[in-house]
């Protein structure tokens, strides 16, 4: 048995089978070969296997992301058979008399650098596809399993680290946990784990990933951050006991389903849930959230291989609104950039992405992209109770520009006789110190504020939320944060607007009473935190 200790990012416990998520940085062995013909045959066979794999992936992608999203795997098949690429591999084998996997890695480097050096941004983006198909070919040559090495139920994904885009494309039905060597508690991957309701432990150290193998049994304790690989019988018994205890605790909370979210002295609070996509709807409904306080719409873009079209987005928003049957659904417009990178946006690499080109800044610079989303949102609005929210605001001008685009969309839809709801509330996220400080100026422009404490903390305390070294400095209860929240609440109320919190701090039960005393009207949390927060609210008496 091996034991590791990291940081738990979602409180739950599970036992499963390890599936290693392979990464590209591995060193490919180079050795001389005598039998050149044999090496060439190995490449041929590996190519055929890789194509069969891509056929399967294409079929799976068709059902999960639709035809346009799945198209990339057809392109990958064509790239694998590209004459120049195949010739480069063969030549390296013949001339250098080296093994096939090394020849593939050389072709991968030279073709991807060639694409990267091109002027056309579409061609530049092909570099990552070359690396991807080459890695697949190498995996076939070395007989390695790729991505989710194990399939079936109760899979625990183990990786060096996970990017949000990798996390969203995993088969959520079969996963019962994540364990990674690195990562940060506030990263979007950790947030996804919480939204997906699965135990996750990060920061287990570099040793972890090199010591485990596909198929090993792993027990994860998302409360304590403990991880046991191939646990002995005593540990297994203890873990099973903890799982049972956890189930009972969660069972007790279930008695709060269907109950009002109201304090002992009668103040009603909106208790909403955060989601990243339609996959989370089941959990929202099961945990009986009063609405959706934050739909991170950028995950639609992250899951897609190209710009999601108006109709594709419309269908998703409609589905969420219909599922919530008239309860409020706040959809946040696209917030990419920083740790949420989308290849097809062709954003330049930045030295300091957290302080960079993201969210509303991109949307206002790219009205074509923004208007597609806004049109989809307005069209979907007749299917439920929609509110729209803009992220990363720092000025009144940004709010005015975004609102002007909404007006433009309404005029367009009017001229096309397309219906939309005329009572859509429009709000903004307060997640930069600037927006909190000028919240008194912003309040008259909008219908509501939602405080994004994840970014508010990183920008106020100058602590990159992706950097695990800074976690100890990012004091979530820092007086500066609490004062900014209080000031924002007062600004909103002075103008008759409501205000909520949708960052992770909303689920910190040690602050719930304080937030309520500040006058917070809404809390939006990962679905599984809805009932624990409802419990605290129902036990709070603000008259005392």
Q: Among Mg ion, ligand PEP, none, what binds residue 502 when CB lies within 5 to 8 Å by partner kind?
A: ligand PEP
Burial of 542 per CB tally in 10 Å (0-12, 13-18, 19+): middle
Please say whether the beta carbons of 385 and 329 come within 8 A: yes
Find the shortest distance in angstroms from Cβ 352 to ligand PEP: 16
Q: Among ligand PEP, Mg ion, none, what binds residue 8 when CB lies within 5 to 8 Å by partner kind?
A: none
Q: Which stretch binds ligand PEP (CB under 6 A): 323-331, 372-380, 449-457, 487-495?
A: 449-457
**Which C-beta is closer to ligand PEP: that of 22 or that of 454?**
454
Q: Among Mg ion, ligand PEP, none, what binds residue 453 when CB lies within 5 to 8 Å by partner kind?
A: ligand PEP
Pick one of 164, 291, 308, 503: the residue that binds ligand PEP (CB under 6 A): 503
Q: Which stretch binds ligand PEP (CB under 6 A): 30-38, 155-163, 451-459, 527-535?
A: 451-459
Is 76 tagged catalytic? no
Residue 183 within binding range of ligand PEP, rule CB under 6 A: no
Structure tokens at 544: 């005392």
Q: In the chain, what is the greatest distance between 2 CA atoms, to the nearest angstrom?
A: 85
Q: Which of residues 193-252 bind ligand PEP (CB under 6 A)?
A: none
Pick one of 7, 270, 296, 379: the residue that binds ligand PEP (CB under 6 A): 296
Q: Which of 140, 158, 176, 188 is catalytic?
A: 188
8-state DSSP, 503: S
Q: What pairs with residue 424 in β-bridges? A: none
Q: Which stretch binds Mg ion (CB under 5 A): 58-66, 154-162, 296-304, 424-432?
A: 424-432
Residue 455 within binding range of Mg ion, rule CB under 5 A: yes
Contact map string, positions 372 to 411, toward ligand PEP, x by CB under 6 A = ----------------------------------------
Residue matched to tokens 């180079």: 30
Closest C-alpha among 295, 279, 318 to residue 427: 295
Helices and strands (H and E) in the chain: how many: 20, 16
**Which C-beta is closer to Mg ion: that of 22 or that of 453?**
453
Q: Which of residues 325-354 bind ligand PEP (CB under 6 A)?
A: 335
Angstrom CA distances, 510 to 112, 223, 267, 456, stand at 50, 16, 19, 19
Q: Among Mg ion, ligand PEP, none, what binds residue 201 when CB lies within 5 to 8 Å by partner kind?
A: none
Sheet holding 13-20, edge to edge: 2-5, 226-229, 217-221, 13-20, 155-159, 175-180, 200-202, 7-10
Find the shortest distance in angstroms from Cβ 135 to Mg ion: 32
Q: 10 Å Cβ neighbour count for 524?
A: 28
Pairwise CA distance, residues 75 & 129, whole Å: 9
Q: Among Mg ion, ligand PEP, none, what binds residue 76 when CB lies within 5 to 8 Å by partner kind?
A: none
Is 502 tagged catalytic? yes
At 4, is the secondary structure helix, strand, or coil? strand
Pick one of 288, 455, 464, 508: the residue that binds ligand PEP (CB under 6 A): 455
Pick one of 54, 474, 502, 516: the residue that binds ligand PEP (CB under 6 A): 502
Structure tokens at 158: 């183990």
Task: Please tell me the number of Cα atoms within 13 Å of 492 on its side-chain side.
Answer: 28
**Which C-beta is closer to ligand PEP: that of 123 or that of 355?**
355
Please say whether the beta carbons of 271 and 289 come within 8 A: yes
Please say whether the beta carbons of 328 and 291 come within 8 A: yes
At 347, is the secondary structure helix, strand, or coil? coil
**Torsion angles phi and psi, residue 430, rounded to 5:** -105, 100
**Which C-beta is closer to ligand PEP: that of 304 or that of 333?**
333
Find the shortest distance in angstroms from Cβ 21 to ligand PEP: 23
**Which C-beta is closer to ligand PEP: that of 291 or that of 452?**
452
Pick one of 22, 165, 439, 453: the residue that binds ligand PEP (CB under 6 A): 453
Structure tokens at 147: 């991505």
**Which C-beta is closer to ligand PEP: that of 316 or that of 430?**
430
Residue 339 within binding range of Mg ion, rule CB under 5 A: no
Q: Which of 176, 406, 463, 502 is catalytic?
A: 502
Burial of 352 per CB tally in 10 Å (0-12, 13-18, 19+): exposed
Pairwise CA distance, residues 156 & 241, whole Å: 20
Question: Which ranges constitute the DSSP H helices of 419-473?
Answer: 433-437, 439-442, 453-460
Residue 452 within binding range of Mg ion, rule CB under 5 A: yes
Residue 431 within binding range of ligand PEP, rule CB under 6 A: yes
Please say whether the beta carbons of 231 and 1 come within 8 A: yes
**Which C-beta is closer to ligand PEP: that of 99 or that of 526?**
526
Site residues (vs ligand PEP, CB under 6 A): 294, 296, 335, 431, 452-455, 502-503
Site residues (vs Mg ion, CB under 5 A): 431, 452, 455
Catalytic residues: 188, 502
């Amino acid at each position: 048995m091996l034991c590791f200790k990291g940081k738990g990012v979602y409180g739950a416990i599970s036992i499963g089978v390890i599936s290693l998520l392979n990464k590209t940085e591995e060193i490919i062995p180079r050795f001389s070969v005598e039998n050149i013909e044999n090496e060439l045959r190995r490449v041929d066979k590996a190519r055929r296997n890789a194509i069969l794999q891509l056929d399967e992936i294409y079929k799976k992608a068709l059902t999960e992301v639709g035809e346009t999203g799945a198209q990339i795997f057809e392109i990958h098949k064509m790239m694998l058979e590209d004459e120049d690429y195949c010739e480069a591999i063969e030549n390296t084998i013949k001339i250098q008399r080296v093994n096939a996997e090394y020849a593939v890695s050389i072709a991968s480097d030279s073709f991807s650098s060639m694409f990267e050096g091109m002027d056309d941004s579409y061609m530049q983006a092909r570099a990552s596809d070359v690396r991807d198909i080459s890695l697949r070919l190498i995996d076939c040559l070395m007989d390695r399993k790729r991505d989710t090495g194990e399939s079936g139920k109760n899979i625990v994904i183990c990786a060096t680290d996970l990017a949000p885009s990798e996390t969203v494309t995993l088969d959520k039905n079969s996963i019962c946990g994540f364990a990674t060597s690195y990562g940060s508690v506030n990263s979007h991957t950790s947030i996804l784990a919480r939204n997906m309701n699965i135990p996750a432990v990060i920061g287990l150290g570099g040793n972890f990933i090199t010591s485990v193998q596909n198929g090993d049994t792993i027990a994860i304790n998302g409360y304590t951050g403990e991880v046991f690989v191939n646990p002995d019988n005593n540990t297994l018994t203890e873990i099973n006991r903890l799982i049972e205890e956890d189930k009972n605790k969660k069972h007790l909370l279930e008695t709060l389903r269907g109950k009002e979210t109201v304090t002992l002295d009668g103040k009603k609070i909106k208790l909403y849930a955060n989601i990243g996509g339609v996959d989370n709807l089941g959990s929202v409904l099961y945990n009986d959230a009063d609405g959706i306080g934050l739909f991170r719409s950028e995950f639609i873009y992250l899951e897609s291989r190209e710009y999601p079209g108006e109709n594709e987005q419309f269908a998703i928003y409609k589905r969420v609104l219909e599922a919530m049957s008239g309860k409020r659904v706040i959809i946040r417009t696209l917030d990419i950039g920083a740790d949420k990178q989308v290849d097809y946006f062709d954003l330049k690499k930045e030295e300091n992405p957290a302080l960079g080109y993201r969210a509303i800044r991109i949307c206002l610079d790219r009205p074509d992209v923004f208007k597609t989303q806004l049109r989809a949102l307005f069209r979907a609005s007749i299917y439920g109770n929609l509110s729209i929210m803009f992220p990363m605001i720092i000025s009144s001008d940004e709010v005015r520009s975004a609102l002007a685009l909404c007006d433009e969309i309404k005029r367009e839809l009017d001229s096309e006789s397309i219906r939309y709801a005329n009572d859509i509330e429009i709000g903004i996220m307060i997640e930069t110190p600037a927006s909190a400080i000028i919240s008194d100026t912003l309040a008259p422009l909008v219908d509501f504020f939602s405080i994004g404490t994840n970014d508010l903390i990183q920008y106020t305390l100058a602590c990159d939320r992706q950097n695990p070294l800074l976690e100890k400095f990012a004091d979530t209860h820092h007086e500066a944060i609490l004062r900014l929240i209080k000031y924002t609440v007062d600004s909103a109320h002075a103008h008759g607007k409501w205000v909520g919190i949708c960052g992770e701090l909303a689920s910190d039960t040690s602050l719930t009473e304080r937030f309520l005393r500040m006058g917070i009207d809404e809390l939006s949390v990962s679905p599984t935190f809805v009932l624990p927060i409802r419990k605290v609210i129902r036990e709070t008496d603000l008259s005392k």
